[in-house]
C-alpha cells in the first residue's frame, strides 16, 4: 500500500455558511428546548453540520459513501470508520457567518492488527471566518478489512473511575436517521439493517462516532452552561449499536472534563478529554 502515501500533502478547500437551520435541527436531535450553548453561535462540534459531501448519486458506492479516490486515498479495504479527533477552538463561529475549510492529508499509515490489515489516514482541517482560523481539527480515519465469520469481538476496556455526570440513551433508528440527515451521511451502516448484518457483519445499526462525540460534548454543556470549550480530543474504542442502551459519563477536572461512553456491557466505547474556560 506504499502508493497511498502519494496522497500526503493533498489539499482541498470548501466554502459554506453557518446556517441557523442546521443548528435548530441539532438542538432538536439532542432533545433541547433551550440549547446550553451561547445563543447565536455554532456550538463546539457543530461545524460538522457544514461542508457536507456533494457527490452525485451516480458516484455513490455500495456502502453509501462516494467512490474512493479523489481527495482521500483510494484505500481498497471496505470498512471505513471515524477513529478519533483532536480539536482546538480558537474563536466562536456566529450563526449565519460565511465559513471556509482548508483540508490537508497529513499522514497515511498502513498497519497490521488483530483484525487484519488497516490503514490510518490523518486529515488536518482549518475552519475559518473573516476574523481568522476558528477551529483546527485533526481527523483520524481508519480503513479495515471486511468482517470474517468467527472474528473475535473488540476487547473490552472498563472505565478507570466513577462518573459524576451520567445520562443514559436508548438509541433507535430515528435518532440515527436524523443525525445522518443533518450531516448528509449516506453510509448504510447507520440505516440499512440488512446491509449492516449481511455485508459488514454488525449485529445492529451502527451509532455514529461523531454523534457519540457530540453527545459527550452536550453532556458537558448541560452540566456547565456558559462554559467556553477550547479543546477536545476523543478516541473511538468499541462500536455501539441501536439494539442496546449506552451511557454518557463525565468527571470534572481542573481544566475541563474527562468524558466517556459505555456500552450495555459497561465497556468504554469512546473516551474523551475536554478543555474549557468556565464563565
Tell which residue, 70, 66, 49, has the closest CA to residue 58. 66
> What pLDDT is attached to residue 151?
67
Residue 35: give its domain's CATH number. 3.10.129.10
> What pLDDT is attached to residue 149?
65
Residues 141-158 pLDDT 10s = 998 887 776 666 677 899
> What pLDDT is attached to residue 279?
65
Specify the DSSP element, H or E, that contains 220: helix 209-223
Residues 255-269 pLDDT 10s = 999 999 999 999 999
- Per the prediction, the chain carries an average pLDDT of 92
Range of the domain at 244: 2-277
> What pLDDT is attached to residue 113?
72
Specify the DSSP element, H or E, that contains 239: none
Query: What is this structure's pTM?
Result: 0.93
Distances (CA, A) of 128 to 92, 125, 133, 182, 228: 10, 10, 4, 21, 18
Question: What percentage of the chain exceeds 70 in pLDDT?
Answer: 96
Cα(68)–Cα(236) distance, rounded to whole angstroms? 23
| Structural domain count, the chain | 1
Amino acid at each position: 500500500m506504499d502508493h497511498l502515501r502519494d496522497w500526503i500533502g493533498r489539499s482541498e478547500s470548501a466554502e459554506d455558511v453557518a446556517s441557523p437551520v442546521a443548528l435548530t435541527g441539532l438542538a432538536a436531535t439532542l432533545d433541547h428546548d433551550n440549547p446550553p450553548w451561547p445563543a447565536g453561535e455554532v456550538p463546539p462540534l457543530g461545524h460538522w453540520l457544514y461542508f457536507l459531501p456533494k457527490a452525485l448519486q451516480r458516484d455513490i458506492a455500495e456502502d453509501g459513501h462516494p467512490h474512493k479516490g479523489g481527495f482521500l486515498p483510494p484505500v481498497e479495504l471496505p470498512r471505513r470508520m471515524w477513529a478519533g479527533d483532536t480539536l482546538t477552538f480558537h474563536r466562536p463561529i456566529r450563526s449565519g457567518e460565511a465559513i471556509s475549510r482548508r483540508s490537508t492529508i497529513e499522514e497515511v499509515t498502513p498497519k497490521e492488527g488483530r483484525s487484519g490489515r488497516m490503514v490510518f489516514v490523518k486529515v488536518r482541517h482549518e475552519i475559518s471566518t473573516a476574523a481568522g482560523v476558528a477551529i483546527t481539527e485533526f481527523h483520524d480515519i481508519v480503513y479495515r478489512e471486511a468482517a470474517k465469520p468467527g472474528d473475535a469481538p473488540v476487547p473490552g476496556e472498563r472505565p478507570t473511575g466513577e462518573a459524576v455526570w451520567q445520562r443514559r440513551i436508548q438509541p433507535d433508528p430515528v435518532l440515527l436517521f436524523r443525525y445522518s440527515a443533518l450531516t448528509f451521511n449516506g453510509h448504510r451502516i447507520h440505516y440499512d439493517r440488512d446491509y449492516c448484518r449481511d455485508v459488514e457483519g454488525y449485529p445492529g445499526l451502527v451509532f455514529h462516532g461523531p454523534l457519540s462525540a457530540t453527545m459527550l460534548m452536550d453532556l458537558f454543556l448541560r452540566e456547565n452552561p456558559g462554559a467556553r470549550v477550547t479543546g477536545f480530543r476523543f478516541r473511538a474504542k468499541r462500536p455501539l449499536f441501536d439494539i442496546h442502551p449506552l451511557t454518557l459519563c463525565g468527571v470534572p477536572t481542573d481544566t475541563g472534563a474527562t468524558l466517556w461512553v459505555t456500552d450495555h456491557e459497561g465497556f468504554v466505547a469512546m473516551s474523551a478529554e475536554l478543555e474549557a474556560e468556565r464563565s
